[in-house]
A and B are shown apart, each in its own frame.
Chain A
């Protein structure tokens, strides 16, 4: 049994006096694709930030790739909830940001831009991109260093249904090709079920683990597979349970 890539056990996370995460513990093992779903404000982004080493002010234990979470592990790729492109760099320079000034000319930049459908925008500035284009550029940047662990925070929220399907399949292909481990935050339960081996459902007020759904369906999967729909239904009931509990509270 290999050590899990992510081993998380947060007993409490507060902002000022407000507890936003009460009790969340889960593990992610090598090669797994895991989705986090839950109502807005339940702490999904906060969890991702903790795992990425951007926030170390919490009670509990966390280990990522065998260490306490820390910034800049070469093997971790992070895609924020908002694109966070640097406005003074072109799209290509943003994607190759890791390599500094020479990053834009790296062959991998052109390759990734083609993959996310931005080949024509390599020299555009972020202000010239639509929301979905900016998000795709941010995804390309997250994939640039071929990370072993990919952390994605609602990466497809601003793209149209068609592009979203393409990007989902791209993510799946890349994860499979590099044997990458993926932790994906999404509000789209169908997407979570289609892409993941496991869907972790969180409850809010404050964030807690609600339950999880295993998706033991081999890839390639068919989006119209009734088995997927069934599992999606299960995840949705878990989520709804959250809603019921919330209104009772």
Chain B
């Protein structure tokens, strides 16, 4: 009784004492968050200013290193006639197609090799051997076999995406906790159901590592493919800029590639966060 009575004012006092500081840290936390993001912009902003100054001051020839202001003009010009959008669209579609095919095959092959010791003994070493080939070495062969239109580009991108996805899933499956598999077995799960309900969810984090690496390789191989033979796409813009001596076009193409690469990776990262909410991982501050 007395405890209840005496605890009341104390609790109220604690509430009162906490109330102002409660919003305090949170509000300043948001501010700190914005500030932290802002801090990341300081270095690029300073670099841009130096860049502009250096070129205007005549220390570097503007035709080799166009200043940021000239790049803005180039972007405007390329956007106005729809050229830049066209290149970006073509490149994105190629990556989408190549990555989808490569990732799908990577998941299929990874699942088979990861889940079946027989399959692993049979085809694991072959994949390891193929993986050792620097993927660009495929290019001449692909051109010989498949001509110079879309097919060899998409195949090359698919090859780039395939191996990380394959390797990610295989290692994910190999690292599934035996205890969780046992639990599935106690509940009578076998074959496909055991795979779907235990192996795949458990291997998902590692699969996502593979998918994200595969996606970044897909962009890399896109550039390689388009540099070699293309009449459209950002890789074409790169080689066209070089041939016509337009450094501004080259830099804009690079920036567009960075933008698309970052956007597509953010998409995957978003999906990863959603699907792997359950994961218990160490979070760095602000991550």
Contacts and interface: CB of A to CB of B under 8 A. Distances in A.
A87 interface: yes
Given A86-B198, A88-B204, A71 B179 contact: no
Range for the number of chain A residues in contact with chain B: 10 to 19
A156 interface: no
A183 B201 CA distance: 32
A52 B204 CA distance: 29
A100 B198 CA distance: 11
Interface stretch (A18-26, A36-44, A76-84): A76-84
Contact of A54 (B180, B182, B276): B182
A41 B179 CA distance: 19
Interface in B150-189: 179-180, 182-183, 185-188
Given A80-B179, A82-B179, A100-B197, A87 B280 contact: yes
Contact of B183 (A84, A88, A125, A126): A84
A98 interface: yes
Given A80-B183, A84-B179, A86-B180, A71 B188 contact: yes
A54 B278 contact: no
B279 interface: yes
Contacts of A194: none
A78 B186 contact: yes
B109 interface: no
Given A54-B182, A80-B179, A125-B278, A86 B187 contact: no
A89 B275 CA distance: 11
Given A80-B179, A86-B180, A88-B201, A72 B185 contact: yes
B198 A54 contact: no
A97 B197 CA distance: 10
A208 B179 CA distance: 26
A72 B194 CA distance: 13
Contacts of B276: 88
A97 B187 contact: yes
A50 to B, nearest CB: 13
A141 B26 CA distance: 38
Given A87-B280, A88-B201, A72 B180 contact: no
Nearest to A72: B188
Contacts of A88: 201-202, 204, 276, 278
A88 B275 CA distance: 9
B278 A126 contact: yes
A84 B184 CA distance: 10
Given A126-B278, A127-B278, A71 B185 contact: yes
A15 B286 CA distance: 47
A52 B186 contact: yes
A80 B197 CA distance: 19
Contacts of A72: 185-188
Closest 6 CB pairs of A and B: A72-B188, A127-B280, A88-B201, A125-B278, A88-B278, A84-B183
Interface of A: 52, 54, 71-72, 78, 80, 82, 84, 86-89, 97-98, 100, 125-127
19 contacts: A54-B185, A71-B185, A71-B188, A72-B185, A72-B186, A72-B188, A78-B186, A80-B183, A84-B179, A87-B279, A87-B280, A88-B201, A88-B202, A88-B204, A88-B278, A98-B187, A100-B197, A125-B278, A127-B279
